[in-house]
Amino acid sequence: MGMLNLILANISSKPVTRLYPFEIRETCKEAKGRIIFNSENCILCGICQKKCPADAITVTKADKIWELNVFRCIMCTECVNGCPKNCITISCERAKTGAKEYIKILVPKVDTPKTDSPKKASSK
Amino acid sequence: MTTIIPFGPQHPVFPEPISLKLEIDNDVVVGALPSLGYVHRGLEKFIDTKDYIQTMYICERICGICSGIHGITYSRAIEKLFNIEVPERAQYLRVINSELCRIHSHLLWLGLFADGFGFESLFYECWKYREGILDVLEKFTGSRVIHSMSKVGGASRDLNDEQIDHIQKALDTLEPQVKNIEKVFVNNYTVKKRCVGLGVMSKQLAYEAGTAGPTLRGSGNAIDIRDTPDYDIYRDLGFKTAVGKDGDCYSRTKVRIDEIFESIKLVRNALSKLPNGEISVPVKGSPTGEAIMRAEQPRGEVVYYVKGNGTKNLERLKVRTPTFANIPSLLLMLPGVKLADVPIIVLTIDPCVSCTER
C-alpha cells in the first residue's frame, strides 16, 4: 500500500528538476552574483586592490586602468565595503557563461578639487 | 599469508582522495596504513602574504562543506587575541549560520552514506532536501557554499523579517522530510543489515583514541564543545547533546540524524530570541600574542591556534581538524572486518581530506 501511495504521489507531483537551459533558476536579491564597476566617481585610490584577498583587482594609476580578473574573484565583497566612493557594487545576477576573463575599464579623468596637504598647512 | 591492497585515493565511495593500504588475509582486514597528502595546498604558509582580515577568507576555503564554521572559529580566535566583545546579535547570527551549515553537511553525508551501500533513491532524497537549506543559506549569506557571513568583530550580514520568515518556513518543510528519511535509516532491513554491529568502538577506546564529533558521541561519550561554558550562547538556547550507545555504524548514523533535529530546534530558538542591536564592532591594529579557539563542526571538534607578532600578518596559524583526530580511530576500527565493509566504516567517520591536509 505504501508503494502504491508513492507511485501515485510521484505521478501527480511536479518534477523536482528544471529543464535547464530553458528554465533558468531565479536568484534571490540577496545573492552575490557578480561585481559591477562604475568608473564615473573612481579616484584610483587602490583601496579595493589592497583589500582584495585574492589579488583579483589591479589598479594602474599611471594609465588610469581598473582591472578585475573575474576568474580570481571570490565574491567576498571586501572591495564593495572598502570603496570610499561607492564605485563598486554587487549584482544578484550571475555572470553568463563565456564571459570575458577580464573586466578592464579605463577610468575617465575626474576633476578633484586641489587642497593643501596637512603638512603644508601646518608649516604655514 | 597476508596481501597488501591499495584502497583509494580514487574510489567510487570516496568523495575526496584518502588512500589506505589494507593488509588483508583471506578477505578479512588485518591492518591498515593511511596515506595523506594528495590535496595539500599549503594554506597555513599562504597566510604569510595576507593580513589577518584577509586570512578569514582563506580559512573559509579550507573546506567546502563546513566553510562557515571555519570562518566563525577563526574570527573568534582573533577576537580573543584582541579581547573584543562581539555584539549579542552577531553571536546569534553565527549560531544560526553554524547550525544551518550542520544541517546541510549531515544531509549531504546521509546521502553519501546511502550511496555508499547502494541505496541510490535514498541518496537522491537526502540531497533533494538539502537543496532547501542551501536556498536558505543563499538568501541569508548571499552564496550557497562559501558563505563569508562572519567577519572579525561580528557578522557581515544581518537578517530581516522576510529572511526570518523564509528560514522558518524552510525548517517547517524540512522537519517532516527528515523524519521521513529517518524512518528509512532506522528501520530499513538493508540499512540495518549493512550497519548494525559494524566498526564497533567501545566508549573507553573512543575516548582514549582522541576521537571527535559524532564518531565519539556514537560510542556513548556525551562530549560536545557546544555544551561548554565558553562556547557562545548554546546553553541559553536549550542545547542537548545527541548520544548513541552501541558505537557501531548504525549508532553514528542515528547520532547524525538526531543532530539535524537538534540543529533545527536551535535555529528556531535563536530566531525567536534574536536580540536587536549592532552586528559588528570595528577592529583595528595589529594583533600581538597567541590564542586558541575550539568549535564544534559537523564532523567534530576543530581547534584554531593563532599567533600575532605586532605586524599586519599573523606569525602562525595552525588548524587541527576533526578528520585528523578520527583517522587513528578509523585504523582501530578496521582490523577484523571484511573488505566489502571497509567503505561503510570509512564513510561513517565522515572523512574530509581537504580539511585534514589544508
**What does the DSSP assignment read for B123-173?**
HHHHHHHHHHHHHHHHHHHSSSS----EETTEES----HHHHHHHHHHHHH
- Whether the Cβ atoms of residue B163 and residue B115 lie closer than 8 Å to each other: no
B44 is in an annotated binding site: yes
Which residue type, as a one-letter code, is found at position B58? I
Conformational region of residue B33, where left means phi above 0, alpha means psi within -120 to 50, and beta covers everything else: beta
Where do the domains of chain B lie, and which CATH numbers do they carry?
40-321 (1.10.645.10)
The pair phi, psi for residue A51, each rounded to 5°, is -80, -25
pLDDT in tens, B73-90: 999 999 988 888 889 899
pLDDT at residue A124, rounded to an integer: 38
The answer to whether B337 is annotated as binding is no
Please report which confidence band the pLDDT of residue A123 belongs to, taking 50, 70 and 90 as the band edges: very low
Bond from prior residue into B9 cis (ω within 30 degrees of 0): yes
Of B57, B139, B157, the CB nearest to A76: B57
Chain B residue nearest residue A29, CA to CA:
B139
Whether residue A30 and residue B142 make contact (CB cut-off 8 A), yes or no, is yes
Query: CA angle at residue B69 from B67 to B75, to 5 degrees?
Result: 105
CB contacts, 8 Å: B152 with chain A: none
Rg (CA), chain B: 20
Q: Is the pTM of this model over 0.90?
A: no
Per-residue pLDDT of B343-358, as tens digits, reads 888 888 888 888 888 8
For residues B247 and B219, the answer to whether their CB atoms sit within 8 Å is yes
Which residues contact residue B19 at a Cβ distance below 8 angstroms, ignoring those fewer than 6 apart? Answer: B6, B7, B8, B9, B34, B35, B36, B38
Cβ pair A77:B128 closer than 8 A: no
Instruction: State pLDDT tens for residues A54-109.
Output: 888 888 888 888 888 888 888 888 889 888 888 888 888 877 766 565 676 776 65
Look at residue B10 and tell me whether its pLDDT is greater than 60. yes
Is residue B279 within 8 A of residue B151, CB to CB? The reply is no
Residues 2-31 on A with a CB inside 8 Å of B are: 16, 27-28, 30-31
**Residues of A in Cβ contact (< 8 Å) with B50:** 53
Is residue A77 a contact partner of residue B53, using CB atoms and an 8 Å limit? no
Report CB contact under 8 Å: A76, B148. Answer: yes
| B288 Cβ contact list (under 8 Å, min separation 6) | B81, B308, B309, B310
Smallest CA–CA distance from A94 into chain B, residue: B143
* pLDDT band at B49; cut points 50, 70, 90: confident
B184 touches A at CB < 8 Å: no
Taking an 8 Å cut-off on Cβ atoms, the answer to whether A32 and B163 are in contact is no
Residues of chain B found within 8 Å of residue A27, distances taken between Cβ atoms: 138
Minimal C-alpha gap between A120 and chain B (Å): 28
In the chain, the amino acid numbered B167 is: I
pLDDT at position B77, please? 92
**Closest-CA residue in chain A for B56?**
A53
For chain B positions 113-172, those within 8 Å of chain A (CB to CB) are 128, 135, 138-140, 142-143, 146, 148, 156-157, 163
Structure confidence at residue A99 (pLDDT): 58
Q: In what order do the strands lie in the sheet with B314-320?
A: B288-297, B300-309, B314-320
Residues 6+ apart with CB under 8 A from B210: B325, B328, B329
| B149–chain A nearest CA distance, Å | 9
The answer to whether the Cβ–Cβ distance between B142 and A31 falls below 8 Å is yes
Q: Is the confidence at residue B51, as pLDDT, over 90?
A: no
Q: For strands B150-151 and B154-155, give the pairing.
A: antiparallel
Q: What average pLDDT does this structure show over B217-246?
A: 84
pLDDT score recorded for residue B105:
92
Q: Which of A32, A74, A81 sits opposite B142 (nearest CB)?
A: A32
> Which residue reads 552514506 in cell numbers?
B113
**Beta-strand pair B300-309/B288-297:** antiparallel
Contact B57 A74 (CB under 8 A): yes
Cross-strand bridge partners of residue B306:
B291, B317
How far apart, in whole angstroms, are the C-alpha atoms of residue B2 and residue B26? Answer: 8
Instruction: Tell me which amino acid residue B339 is.
Output: L
**Is any Cβ of chain B less than 8 angstroms from the Cβ of A53?**
yes
Task: Please choose, from the candidates B275, B60, B47, B263, the residue with its C-alpha nearest in 3D space to the C-alpha of residue B149.
Answer: B60
Please indicate whether, in this complex, the C-beta atoms of B146 and A74 are within 8 angstroms of each other: yes
b/e code B13-27 from CB counts within 10 Å (16+ = b): bbbbbbbbebebeee
In this prediction the ipTM stands at: 0.75
B249 assigned binding-site residue: no
